[in-house]
Amino acid sequence: MAVVYKKSKMLTDTPFHYCPGCTHGIAHKLVAEVLEEMGAEGNVVGVAPVGCAVFAYKYFNCDMQEAAHGRAPAVATGIKRVLPDKFVFAYQGDGDLASIGMAEIVHAATRGEKITVIFINNAIYGMTGGQMAPTTLEGQKATTCIYGRNPEVNGHPIKMCELLATLTGPSYIARGALTDPANVRKAKKMIKTAFEHQAQKKGFSFVELLSSCPTNWGMTTEQALEYVKTDMQKLYPLGVFKEV
C-alpha cells in the first residue's frame, strides 16, 4: 500500500498534551517537517518556552533546552554563539514572547542573531487559564478582563511583526495563520523561508502564527478558527513584513 502521509522524523512518538482544537500541534508538525525537508536531523537545538508549549522539548526529535519564562531568545543566543553551524530555534507563545520576554526578543532581533523564532499568537495566556495576553484584542474577554479588554484600563495589543520589522537585524519577518489548509501551507512556506535565512546566516528570522484557543476563548473549534480569520486577522494582517 502506498504511504500517503507519515509523521515527521523530527517529531518524537510522545503524544501531544494540547487541548482539542488547539493549533500548537499543527505548528509543531510544520516546524518538524521543514527541519526534516532541510536535512537538519542531527543538526538542531530547539528552545522551549514557558506556557502551553512548555513540554515542546518532549515533542521535537532533537536536542532541546527549556528556557525560563520569556528568556528563550537569550538562551537561543547563547546556544547559537557557541554552535554557529547548528540550526537553533525558539518556540514561544504570546505571553512568553511579547510580555515578559519583550526585551529578549527585541534585542535578539536587533543583534541579528542567526536564530529562528516561531511565535504562537493566540491572544491569551493558555497554560495559566485564560488571562489577558499582550496580544489580546480590544474587547476580547479574558479572566483578568472579564468585560473585554478595555484599552483605558488594560492598554492596547502589541503587533510583534510590525514592531520587529522596524529593526535592522532581522532578515525575515512574516505572519501566517493556522486556520485552514491553504493558510497552513502558506505558514509552512514561511517557516521554511525563515530556516533558510538561518542556514544562509542572513539574519534573525521570525514567523508569527495566528492560532486558536477554543478552551480559553470559550468557543467551539469552528468558532475559534472563524475568530482567527475575522477579528484576529483584522488586527494582525497576514504577510511578509520584511525580507532581505
Partner 1 sequence: MKELMKGNEAIAEAAVRGGCRAFFGYPITPQNEIPEYMSWRLFEVGGTYVQAESEVAAINMVYGAAGAGARAMTSSSSPGISLKQEGISYICCSRLPCVIVNMVRGGPGLGGIQPAQSDYFQATKGGGHGDYHMLVYGPASVQECVNIMYDAFDKADKYRVPVMILGDGMLGQIMEPVELPEFKDLSKLPRKNWATYGDGTGEKRNIINSLLIEPDELEAHNKLLADTYAEMARNETMCEEYLCDDAEIVLTAYGTVARIAKSAVNILREQGKKVGLLRPITLYPFPNDAFRKVAEQDCVKEFVCTELSMGQMIEDVKLATGMLKPVHFYGRCGGNVMTPEDLVEFVLKEGK
Nearest-angstrom CA–CA distance, 178 and 186: 9
Residue 55 CB, shortest distance to partner 1, in Å, is: 8
Shorter beta-carbon distance to partner 1: residue 19 or 235: 19
Q: Which of 78, 112, 148, 237 binds partner 1 (CB under 8 A)?
A: 78
Shorter beta-carbon distance to partner 1: residue 57 or 172: 57
Residue 105 in grid coordinates: 526578543
Neighbours of 48 (CB within 10 A): 23
Q: Which of 64, 127, 158, 235 binds partner 1 (CB under 8 A)?
A: 64
Q: Which of 34, 79, 120, 194 binds partner 1 (CB under 8 A)?
A: 79
Shorter beta-carbon distance to partner 1: residue 36 or 138: 36
List the x/- string, 93-112, binding to partner 1 by CB under 8 A. ----------xx-xx---x-
> Residue with C-alpha cell 473585554?
148
Q: Which of 42, 146, 230, 234 binds partner 1 (CB under 8 A)?
A: 42
Name the strand (E) or helix (H) holding 218. Answer: none
Contacts of residue 37, defined as CB under 8 A and 6 or more positions apart, other chains included, come to 192
- The span of 75-83, 140-148, 159-167, 205-213 binding partner 1 (CB under 8 A) equals 75-83
Residue 106 CB, shortest distance to partner 1, in Å, is: 8
User: Residue 38, interface with partner 1 (CB under 8 A)?
Assistant: no
In the chain, the N- to C-terminal Cα span, in Å, equals: 44
Residue 8 CB, shortest distance to partner 1, in Å, is: 12
Nearest-angstrom CA–CA distance, 40 and 87: 7
User: Residue 186, interface with partner 1 (CB under 8 A)?
Assistant: no
3-state DSSP percent of the chain in helix, strand and coil, to 5 = 40, 20, 40
Q: Which of 22, 26, 34, 74 binds partner 1 (CB under 8 A)?
A: 74
Residue 214 CB, shortest distance to partner 1, in Å, is: 24
**What are the CA-CA distances from residue 85 to residues 31, 37, 67, 199, 200 (Å)?**
19, 18, 21, 8, 10
* DSSP assigned state of 137: P
Contacts of residue 145, defined as CB under 8 A and 6 or more positions apart, other chains included, come to 132, 136, 153, 154
Interface residues for partner 1 in 108-167 (CB under 8 A)?
Answer: 111
* DSSP assigned state of 118: E
Q: Are 92 and 72 in contact (CB under 8 A)?
A: yes
3-state secondary structure at position 141: coil
User: Residue 205, interface with partner 1 (CB under 8 A)?
Assistant: no
Residue 98 in grid coordinates: 511579547
Tell me how many residues contact partner 1 (CB under 8 A). 36
Which residues of the shown chain bind partner 1 in the complex (CB under 8 A)?
Answer: 9, 41-45, 47, 54, 57, 61-68, 71, 74-83, 86-88, 103-104, 106-107, 111
